[in-house]
Amino acid sequence: MKNYFFFIFLLFIIVSCGGDSNDEIVNPSSSSEQKITLNDVTIVNDNTIKLQWSATSKNTYVSFYILRKYAQIGQYKKIYEVSGSTSEKTDQNLNYTPYTEYQIIGYLNNGDMVKSNPVIYNRPEIKLLNISPIDALFDADNGSAFIFGENGNIIKYDVNSGQKVKEISTGVALGYSYLGTYNGQKELYVPRKDGWVYIYNPDDLTFKDKINFGSSVTNVILAGGKLYGSIDSPPSDAFLKCFDRGTKSLISNYNIGYNGRLKLIPNTNASFYYLTTNLFPEKLKIFNYDSNGTFISQNQLNSSAQQSLNYKIFEALPSGNGLLVSMQGGIYDSNLTYKGDLPRGDSNLSGFDFDSNYVIAGANNNRKIEFYKLTDYSKINSLSTKGYPFKVFNYGNKVVSISSTNILSMASAFSGPGPEDIAIEVLNK
């Protein structure tokens, strides 16, 4: 029996050593034969990074993918593809974030894929608020910014100290809010998609009161002790409701046909510019009320004359004699006549505010804040920002920019994406 097992073992050795001597034995490539080394980034400016790498392999690289992510636990996204003969690429669309990570993937002509080492670019000086905003308000009396998130959260931020004061969660989607004064006290009016308007103390965001508007509230404004709210009432109607702030009783309810956003016209008791939302082509109107909250009349822009309308980028001029709207800086007079655009060049304007002499405009794509004369709208100056301006506010001899981490798409109100996150920048004029 022992001889039998020995014979089988010997036969196994002979067979294993035999075979066709021309057969090629292929071993996996070692790391030294097939490797991509990504170097540390070269900083060009705040939103531009140069990447360089070296690649070795006995096979030919067909192409390289450049991957990027903005969080340690996030997923890489392919941002560029270059030829296999290339060893560098400049990323000119870097988000304004404290953490950025890159990796290169090379594809060989035999179908293999080779990954580089990851490279991290940290900017700890960037302080994000961890909110994706739909809107922001500013109290220039004390330097308080209020940011309203798409998740229903509200943040109060003190620009003087550079600190977040408080954050609350409302638990519901929000409309466009308003900061007003009633009986000598400031109040923050927050419209909600569940039909309520909540009233907060802006000092500490504590709840004060609420009024039921009955259906989803797009935005709300306080004027003359009355709260005016645009109400979406599916499937086809929309209303402009007026409530007494003190008694919370309904004063008037006017069918406006299409849901929209209001802006109080300065130097009037209760007249409003009104621009429809989620409707194309958009409709621009003026609604006039008396001091008691009773509807008087409306004017409407001739639809054939529409130019540059976007309810997300929409402000009344401080004189009350017109408005600015859209990324083109469309100018309309008090008769809703289109007068032209601000001379913005290639800037996409994301928001407007005013001081006594100038229109202050955020130029999102160019990361600038631009100044235009209120008299003739000529452009006179600009300031550079590090982030991408989402909203801008006048603050004495300074300008406050609510800056997005990412560049925004603002060709129309339906464009996206919105801000993924924000930082607050304060600049000297």
Bigger pLDDT: 360 vs 22: 360
Mean pLDDT within 165-169: 98
Mean pLDDT within 106-130: 95
* pLDDT, mean over the chain: 89
Asked whether residue 376 carries a pLDDT value surpassing 60, the answer given is: yes
Mean pLDDT within 96-112: 95
Cβ atoms of 70 and 95 within 8 Å: the answer is: yes
Bigger pLDDT: 310 vs 305: 310
Amino acid, single-letter form, for residue 198? Y
Asked whether residue 261 carries a pLDDT value surpassing 90, the answer given is: yes
Q: Is the dihedral of CA 106, 109, 110, 111 positive or negative?
A: positive
Cis peptide bond upstream of 234, omega within 30 = no
The CATH fold of domain 170-300: Methylamine Dehydrogenase; Chain H (2.130.10)
- The percentage of residues in the chain with a pLDDT greater than 70, rounded to a whole number, is 89
What does the pLDDT read at residue 26? 28
Identify the burial level of 381 via C-beta atoms within 10 angstroms of its C-beta, where 0-12 means exposed, 13-18 middle and 19 or more buried: exposed
Which tokens sit at 258? 């299409």
Q: Kindly list the distances between the CA atom of residue 316 and the CA atoms of 96, 236, 265, 298, 362, in Å, as whole numbers in the listed order.
A: 30, 28, 6, 17, 16
Q: Which residues contact 156 (CB under 8 A, 6 or more apart)?
A: 144, 145, 146, 164, 165, 166, 167, 202, 204, 205
35-122 sits in which CATH class? mainly beta
Residue keyed to tokens 């500013």? 138
Can you name the residues that pair with 329 across neighbouring β-strands? none
Torsion of CA 175, 422, 390, 147, to 10 degrees: 30
- CATH 2.130.10.10 range(s) for the chain read 170-300
Mean pLDDT within 328-350: 94
Residue 7: band (very low, low, confident or very high) from pLDDT cuts 50, 70, 90: very low
Cβ atoms of 418 and 134 within 8 Å: the answer is: yes
Q: What is the SS3 assignment for 306? A: coil
What does the pLDDT read at residue 257? 86
- CATH 2.60.40.10 range(s) for the chain read 35-122
- How far is the C-alpha of 420 from the C-alpha of 404, rounded, in Å? 7
**Which pTM does this prediction carry?**
0.87
